[in-house]
């Protein structure tokens, strides 16, 4: 058991480090194409930050256990919407300010989060439903980018082919780490005699939230609260739509509807709770962060109790 756990942590560390390097080199490439800082940040979130869970989900689909990837995706989303906000607020030692445009789009965020729940309520994602989810996710990003009013004037950096090579290399390491993470995660679950989905939902999912969490903490400490919020919310939307859609397109799959009934519902409730805090005073306070922490602990307790009941 100890060996399986150590190997899982090592493979997850490879995923996290390679994702961090991918963020670094994709940023340098984006800046060389004269993109604004905001767009660079948004692209990092929407494309690079979701790579760990994307590669893990795709790998699990190819290996015939797509539910492991789905549990990882929904579990990481609940963590992003609660635990990550808690850590960002407490580690940056300040309340998180909310822009009015984010609050105005709250119903849009909640509505999009409901779509994968409604499509998966029968315990099956078809290839057509996967295409629908991908299109919805892409349209969301187009909408947000069009609505952004950020200055597009930035200092253009010289394009260096080595950055492209290093980006591809880091993504290759990410793919290898994802493959190992799924394998060792399933081995650990078998050793412990627990549902593999729980390992994906908590151990792996928490690990995959590190890229966006570290990015958001850095952004918050430099008082770029809009980037911190865009980071987390963008990642959550991408996971729930584009990544789930990609897995379904690659391999339409059947899964235990409990993932939707419990994990999915908690994901939507976390979104509603978070936006209700945002509207309360256009900040997320430390007190509200503590309530988000309690909500995450309730989620963990519910998942464990339900899994024990159905064993």
Least confident range of 206-215, 249-258, 262-271, 302-311: 206-215
Best CA proximity match to 56, nearest among 74, 80, 44: 74
Q: Which domain holds residue 115?
A: 2-310
pLDDT in tens, 117-151: 999 999 899 999 999 999 999 998 888 777 655 44
Task: Decide if 74 contacts 244 (C-beta within 8 A).
Answer: no
Best CA proximity match to 140, nearest among 218, 219, 242, 45: 242
Which residues is 124 bridged to in the sheet?
A: 254
Residue with tokens 């979104």: 271
Helix-strand-coil split of the chain, %, nearest 5: 80, 5, 15
Best CA proximity match to 158, nearest among 41, 33, 36: 33
Best CA proximity match to 156, nearest among 304, 242, 29: 29
Task: Decide if 26 contacts 167 (C-beta within 8 A).
Answer: yes
Instruction: Give the CATH number for residue 143.
Output: 1.20.1420.30
pLDDT in tens, 57-111: 888 888 777 777 888 888 888 988 998 888 888 887 777 777 655 666 778 888 9
Which stretch of DSSP H or E encloses residue 96? strand 96-97
This prediction's pTM:
0.76
- Secondary structure class of 154 (helix, strand, coil): coil
Task: Decide if 171 contacts 51 (C-beta within 8 A).
Answer: yes
Q: How many CA atoms, within 13 angstroms, populate the side-chain half-sphere of residue 279?
A: 11
Q: What is the tally of structural domains in the chain? A: 1
289 token code pair = 């962060």
pLDDT in tens, 268-304: 999 999 888 887 667 788 899 999 999 999 998 988 8
Least confident range of 29-33, 80-84, 240-244, 252-256: 29-33
Q: Could you give the maximum distance between any two Cα atoms of the chain, in Å?
A: 59
For 282: left if phi > 0, alpha if psi spans -120 to 50, otherwise beta; the answer is left
192 token code pair = 């412990």
């Amino acid at each position: 058991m100890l060996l399986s756990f150590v190997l899982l942590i090592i493979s997850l560390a490879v995923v996290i480090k390679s994702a961090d390097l991918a963020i670094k080199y994709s940023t340098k490439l984006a800046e060389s194409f004269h993109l604004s800082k905001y767009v660079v940040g948004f692209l990092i979130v929407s494309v690079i930050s979701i790579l760990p869970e994307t590669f893990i989900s795709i790998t699990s689909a190819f290996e015939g256990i797509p539910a492991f990837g789905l549990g990882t995706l929904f579990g990481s989303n609940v963590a992003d919407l609660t635990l990550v906000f808690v850590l960002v607020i407490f580690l940056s030692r300040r309340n998180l300010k909310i822009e009015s445009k984010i609050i105005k789009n709250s119903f849009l965020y909640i509505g999009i989060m409901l779509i994968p729940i409604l499509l998966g309520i029968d315990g099956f994602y078809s290839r057509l439903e996967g295409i629908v989810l991908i299109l919805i996710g892409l349209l969301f990003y187009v909408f947000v980018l069009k609505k952004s009013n950020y200055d597009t004037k930035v200092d253009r950096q010289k394009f260096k082919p080595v950055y492209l090579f290093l980006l591809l290399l880091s993504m290759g390491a990410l793919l290898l780490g994802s493959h190992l993470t799924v394998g060792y995660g399933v081995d650990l679950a078998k050793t412990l005699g627990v549902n593999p989905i729980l390992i994906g939902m908590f151990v792996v999912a928490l690990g995959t939230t590190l890229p966006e969490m570290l990015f958001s903490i850095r952004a918050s400490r430099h008082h770029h609260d809009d980037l911190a919020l865009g980071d987390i919310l963008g990642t959550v939307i991408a996971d729930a739509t584009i990544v789930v859609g990609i897995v379904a397109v690659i391999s339409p799959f059947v899964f235990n509807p409990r993932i939707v009934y419990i994990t999915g519902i908690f994901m939507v409730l976390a979104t509603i709770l978070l936006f209700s805090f945002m509207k309360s005073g256009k900040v997320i306070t430390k007190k509200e962060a503590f309530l988000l922490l309690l909500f995450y602990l309730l989620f963990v307790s519910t998942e464990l109790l339900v899994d024990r009941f159905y064993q």
